[in-house]
Structure 1
Amino acid sequence: MARIAVNGIDIEYEVHGDGSALLFIHGLGSCKEDWEAQIAPFAQRHKVISFDLRGHGQSDKPAGPYSIAQFAADTAGLLRGLGIDAAHVVGISLGGAVAFQLALDQPALVKTLTIVNSGPDATVRTLKEKFAVWMRNYIVRRKGMARLAGLIGPHLFPKPENRAERERFIERTSRNDPQVYLHAFGALIGWSVAERIGAIACPLLAIAADRDYTPLAMKKAYVAKIAGARLEVITDARHALPMEKPAQFNAVLGRFLGAGA
């Protein structure tokens, strides 16, 4: 592990392997540990970089508010600080939003783009969505991060064979400072680059779990708006796809990177 100064804060990161740069961006309330099952396999052919977004893991946790554009600027600063001209970029959930923003704001830095269980728009539209946002804020403020983690974990990893992943997720999420978590959550809610995605020119792969809580129809719709983009669906899988089904996920990502290396 190492630290680098970016945009006035210190970002913690790891680098493994050698070859073309491959950057992994984790999800909300998590950290670079999201990608433990990807590091060794992909480090055989790539310089694999994982890091903690501001407010997450071992990176600095400055006062908010945060924004997706700010997360993307931090990511760009990390790549430039490491002397990387362009990277294959993979993001899950919140990390997918950051990856979209990075590809639009700094297209020269993104060689290929892989979006996992995410999309280019987090606008809250329906009463059900508004209630879900309110409820998450309420739980974090009144019950704490451990309570939130305990509620989410069984939905992400319901099967007995994923007990270890479930327990790691709960422990990892419980570490978060509640206020900092809400800053990051707030950055995502209402964010959108949906009107800009047609400008993405690099190869794009969307990887979706068939049982993810973000609709498959939404992913099909945005993929159709990006020239050359394609969608791969992994069955019997949920939101934390790279952790729940690492072999299937790694195979799909590996084929894409092999074609786009």
Structure 2
Amino acid sequence: MRDAGHRVLALDQRGHGGSERRPGDVSRAAYVADVVAVVTELGLRRPALIGQSLGGHTALLTAAAHPGLPRALVLVEAGPGGSDPGLQAGIAAWFADRPVPFPSREAAVAYLGGGKRAVGEGWASGLEERGDGLWPRFDADVMVRSLDELARRAFWDEWAAITCPVLAVLGQGGHGGIIGAEEYAEMARLRPGLRGAGVPGTGHDTHLERPEVLHALVTAFLG
């Protein structure tokens, strides 16, 4: 993105990375408030909001609640979704199965990549080194709690409230992404100007599997 003349800022949201590890409030509204606070603090003027997965969902809700804030929105494997009562149990089980701490970066790359080294490298880069090995820079229970609202309801009203241009990038590989054909069709129906792009051979981690394709799509869209 920088090579196309864009200033790029990456936000560690609450419960992630270098931000507060165990925040009391992990509601969707709290995540949106964090985005607005950063934009305000840094004096950003109508930035493009780009996010993948939960980050994309936060960007979507920010654009809906504050239509004058973003000039554009890019969603990578993210959408309005639908209620999924089993979402949190599935995520919690995935976290519980991980052999943490990882004894080495190579072990982390091999496990987290599932046979795709680029994906493993991407996930491993977010780990922190402690005396006994490599650990995630978040607590699993906090991540599970942050999905409370996504498990309970869909966000179609918020999707319909967005006024800025939107690019939706979807995984289209053997493992598939999380945005199905029916969900995308409804997204397009509610927003006829929606620009969509599928990235063949990728799943939910499109940004790690084919970063060069995503870069080209986003650069062209913002241009």
Q: TM-score range by the shorter chain?
A: 0.7 to 0.9
Aligned partner of 1:192 in structure 2 is: 154
1:151-210, CA deviations, whole angstroms, 9 ceiling, x for partnerless residues?
xx8798444xx4153144156364122332223233543253212322222111101111
Q: Which residues of 2 match residues 123-134 of structure 1 at below 5 A?
A: 123-124=83-84, 130=86, 133-134=88-89
Q: Secondary structure at the match of 2:19?
A: coil
Aligned partner of 2:15 in structure 1 is: 55
Per the TM alignment, residue 102 of structure 1 is displaced from its structure 2 partner at its CA by 0.2
Does the 8 Å contact 1:94/1:188 carry over to 2?
no
In percent, how many aligned pairs have the same letter?
Answer: 25
Comparing 105-114 with 170-179, greater Cα deviation is found at 170-179
Pairing 1:249–2:204 present: no
What amino acid maps onto 2:221 in structure 1? F
What amino acid maps onto 2:190 in structure 1? K
**Greater share of residues in strand:** 1
Q: Distance in 2 between matches of 1:220 and 1:135?
A: 26
Where does structure 2 lack aligned partners over 5 or more consecutive residues?
102-108, 128-134
Could you tell me the TM-score, scaled by structure 1's length? Answer: 0.69
Aligned partner of 1:181 in structure 2 is: 143
- Length, aligned pairs only: 206
Aligned partner of 2:37 in structure 1 is: 77
Pairing 1:210–2:172 present: yes
Comparing 210-219 with 91-100, greater Cα deviation is found at 210-219
Q: 1:74/1:193 Cα in 2 relative to 1: closer, same or farther (>3 Å)?
A: same
Q: Distance in 1 between matches of 2:121 and 2:204?
A: 16
Q: Which residues of 2 match residues 27-176 of structure 1 at below 5 A?
A: 41-42=1-2, 44-124=4-84, 130=86, 133-138=88-93, 140=95, 146=100, 157-159=113-115, 162-170=116-124, 172=126, 174-175=135-136, 176=138
Q: Distance in 2 between matches of 1:143 and 1:214?
A: 21
Comparing 66-75 with 180-189, greater Cα deviation is found at 180-189
Could you tell me the TM-score, scaled by structure 2's length? Answer: 0.80
Q: Distance in 1 between matches of 2:4 and 2:179?
A: 34
Higher RCO structure, 1 or 2 (CA under 8 Å, sep 6+): 2
Q: Secondary structure at the match of 2:156?
A: coil
Aligned partner of 1:235 in structure 2 is: 200
Q: 1:154/1:204 Cα in 2 relative to 1: closer, same or farther (>3 Å)?
A: farther
